[in-house]
Amino acid sequence: SKGGLNVLTRCCAHEGGPFGIRVNTLTMGVVTGTRFIDVLHPEIAAEELAASPLRRLPDVSDIVEAATFLLSDRSRATTGEIVNVAAGRHMRY
Protein backbone atom coordinates (compact mmCIF):
# COMPACT_ATOMS: atom_id res chain seq x y z
CA SER A 1 0.00 0.00 0.00
CA LYS A 2 2.92 2.38 0.64
CA GLY A 3 4.20 1.89 -2.89
CA GLY A 4 0.73 2.52 -4.25
CA LEU A 5 0.44 5.74 -2.27
CA ASN A 6 3.82 6.90 -3.58
CA VAL A 7 2.80 6.24 -7.19
CA LEU A 8 -0.57 7.92 -6.62
CA THR A 9 1.21 10.98 -5.20
CA ARG A 10 3.42 11.30 -8.27
CA CYS A 11 0.61 10.63 -10.75
CA CYS A 12 -1.70 13.18 -9.14
CA ALA A 13 1.13 15.72 -9.01
CA HIS A 14 1.84 15.15 -12.71
CA GLU A 15 -1.82 15.47 -13.70
CA GLY A 16 -2.59 18.40 -11.40
CA GLY A 17 0.56 20.40 -12.08
CA PRO A 18 -0.73 22.22 -15.17
CA PHE A 19 -3.67 23.43 -13.07
CA GLY A 20 -1.49 24.71 -10.22
CA ILE A 21 -2.32 21.76 -7.99
CA ARG A 22 0.54 20.46 -5.85
CA VAL A 23 0.41 16.95 -4.39
CA ASN A 24 2.80 15.71 -1.71
CA THR A 25 2.68 12.95 0.88
CA LEU A 26 3.79 13.31 4.49
CA THR A 27 4.85 10.04 6.09
CA MET A 28 6.12 9.30 9.57
CA GLY A 29 7.12 6.48 11.83
CA VAL A 30 6.82 6.48 15.60
CA VAL A 31 5.77 9.90 16.87
CA THR A 32 6.22 10.84 20.51
CA GLY A 33 3.71 13.06 22.25
CA THR A 34 0.85 10.74 21.33
CA ARG A 35 -1.16 8.65 23.75
CA PHE A 36 -0.48 5.51 21.71
CA ILE A 37 3.30 5.76 22.17
CA ASP A 38 3.70 7.68 25.43
CA VAL A 39 1.08 5.81 27.45
CA LEU A 40 0.15 2.55 25.75
CA HIS A 41 3.39 1.44 24.05
CA PRO A 42 6.51 3.18 25.38
CA GLU A 43 8.51 0.03 24.55
CA ILE A 44 8.01 0.72 20.85
CA ALA A 45 9.53 4.18 21.28
CA ALA A 46 12.55 2.70 23.06
CA GLU A 47 13.20 0.23 20.21
CA GLU A 48 12.80 2.88 17.52
CA LEU A 49 14.97 5.35 19.40
CA ALA A 50 17.82 2.85 19.57
CA ALA A 51 17.65 2.37 15.78
CA SER A 52 17.30 6.06 14.85
CA PRO A 53 20.36 7.60 13.16
CA LEU A 54 19.59 10.94 14.85
CA ARG A 55 19.07 9.25 18.23
CA ARG A 56 15.74 10.99 18.60
CA LEU A 57 12.18 10.45 17.49
CA PRO A 58 9.93 13.05 15.94
CA ASP A 59 7.28 14.54 18.14
CA VAL A 60 3.95 16.02 17.16
CA SER A 61 5.48 19.48 16.62
CA ASP A 62 7.90 18.04 14.02
CA ILE A 63 4.96 16.67 12.04
CA VAL A 64 3.09 19.98 12.33
CA GLU A 65 6.16 21.88 11.06
CA ALA A 66 6.49 19.61 8.01
CA ALA A 67 2.78 19.85 7.22
CA THR A 68 2.81 23.63 7.65
CA PHE A 69 5.72 23.89 5.22
CA LEU A 70 3.97 21.73 2.61
CA LEU A 71 0.78 23.77 2.95
CA SER A 72 2.55 27.11 2.68
CA ASP A 73 3.77 29.12 -0.29
CA ARG A 74 7.32 28.32 0.82
CA SER A 75 6.85 24.94 -0.86
CA ARG A 76 5.38 26.39 -4.05
CA ALA A 77 7.97 24.51 -6.16
CA THR A 78 7.47 21.21 -4.33
CA THR A 79 5.19 18.58 -5.83
CA GLY A 80 5.21 14.83 -6.25
CA GLU A 81 7.37 14.37 -3.15
CA ILE A 82 7.12 11.91 -0.31
CA VAL A 83 8.35 13.71 2.81
CA ASN A 84 9.34 11.26 5.54
CA VAL A 85 9.51 12.78 9.03
CA ALA A 86 11.07 9.93 11.00
CA ALA A 87 14.45 11.25 12.20
CA GLY A 88 16.17 9.16 9.54
CA ARG A 89 14.73 5.89 10.81
CA HIS A 90 13.40 4.75 7.44
CA MET A 91 15.91 6.19 5.01
CA ARG A 92 17.16 4.03 2.21
CA TYR A 93 20.86 3.55 1.62
pLDDT digits over 51-76, tens only? 899 999 999 999 999 999 999 999 99
Q: Indicate if the pLDDT at residue 92 is higher than 70.
A: no
Per-residue pLDDT at 93 = 52
Q: Indicate if the pLDDT at residue 12 is higher than 90.
A: yes
Would you state the torsion angle of the CA atoms of residues 17, 19, 20, 26, taken in this order, to the nearest 10 degrees?
Answer: -50
Give the mean pLDDT of 5-25. 97
Range of the domain at 27: 2-85
In a domain, 70, yes or no: yes
Structure pTM? 0.84
Query: In the chain, at which residue ranges do the beta strands (DSSP E only) sit?
Result: 25-28, 82-85
In a domain, 92, yes or no: no
In a domain, 81, yes or no: yes
